Structure 1
């Protein structure tokens, strides 16, 4: 049977399911936040083997009336592969998966600080301003909700700034895991500047892998306070929109997606200036960022990239870009050539040449 608009009932029901799935999507985030706050990944990790529901609720001191609710939470997250449901002595038990291992706080690759930062209610509540954001030129959801940009908010609130830096440092560990297999990118370089490099997680990894490579981290002065330098790792407080220290190469990891095209061109022009006339060498810019490739990527990967695109637009008036959009930026900034290589499941490594 067709409805009055000509669609089959099955199509309408599929539309309803899609609406409801997105309507409740915020609960996905809250489930993720809850298991981190309860320390469930850490409990299973410390347990050393899959844990039964009775063992888990006993450790958590869950009231008897809430045991079934915890089971619902674990069942849902197991369905989404945050946990693996197994049987032990005829009882259901839960084991860690690759995703939940990344939520163990003691892990070198833990992304728990990233989740806690993104889902902080003061920041995440700003997305309720998206309707107003659509009509307000040049304002982000933070400008509307908090009365200032994200960067100004972080400058004024040291606790949030510390949380942000920790989140970015943890994310850098994931990029570093991939960069360890990209040694050719850094071979032949004598110096490199990590622009917007935060507390130096990525630069530290590069400096340790290449002891003869001089690494400099450029970031806002207050970000760099009390950081320890080494023989080939130093920190410089400054503004990438004004100048960048001279070097053979400049690294821009997850920087350009924060900014408008006009701002990106200015940053790239300053990068070009930094690598020019450096002992006659042909310098390069190394960009780690997303490249939207809808025809090549799996559907879920494209979905993630497009979701990030919306998030960057809302939070910073930035954007994720496809190859044509990247190429346009590079050419307008005066570069002649570039090369895109895969890095992680959704990030690419782009080498740009003057």
Structure 2
């Protein structure tokens, strides 16, 4: 059914005049007559009876009118759902308890009027494809990993350098330290079952191990953060790395310690990526918000992989 014909039918029904409907729709009276004629032919019924006072609905026209109005309302909602600024801003944060989710919570506090859809995608290829297709508007990633160039229509800006901390149980040899150096970690077993080969964080930790001679173990199934915390609390020989802004909760009896790492402090580079031609006004607001919050600069010397470019950092 031709939606413009339906719109014209509703206009004639409301005004009772073909001429007034034409003026309301900014078309000629002949165009109104033609649309109504085509609609009547397609439906196989007469919709109006011509009278000296104008046009009156037939019984079939009266039956059609409420459905025509509903069709027009559905069409308006469909247009509004994809109109820039009318739909929620869709952003991938990878994990609900990580720094990226914290950045989005801060953005929501600053802009409570902006509707958000926050989701979690695992693979960077999946996120990039979703941005390219318009399924999502943006994603937080560590970009420029070796062999992982972004498509030309995807832009990125580094928004946070997050220091890593060492997480230990109460009986670990380093549990009492106020800080530890990367050199002190050599020979200690660092257990990180969440590292997956081929991911951007896998590339990050590969470079960290290669440069400082660390022992990071990714063995065993990844049962999630609760199982990781239980194991670290109960196993004096194991520790793990955790981002400074990662928000986790554990039982008080675990006695876990978060210990700053120094000389240098390894920082994980979080970037926002988006499609260059994305017109959503809330995306501009998000980028402005992230640009106004400088990437965390840890005290003293920091380390990041060579493939992370300082020029990617957004500054105010």
Bigger Rg, which one: 2
Greater helix share, structure number: 1
TM over 0.5: no
What TM bracket, shorter-length normalisation?
Answer: under 0.3
Question: What TM-score do you get using the length of structure 1 for normalisation?
Answer: 0.25
Greater strand share, structure number: 2
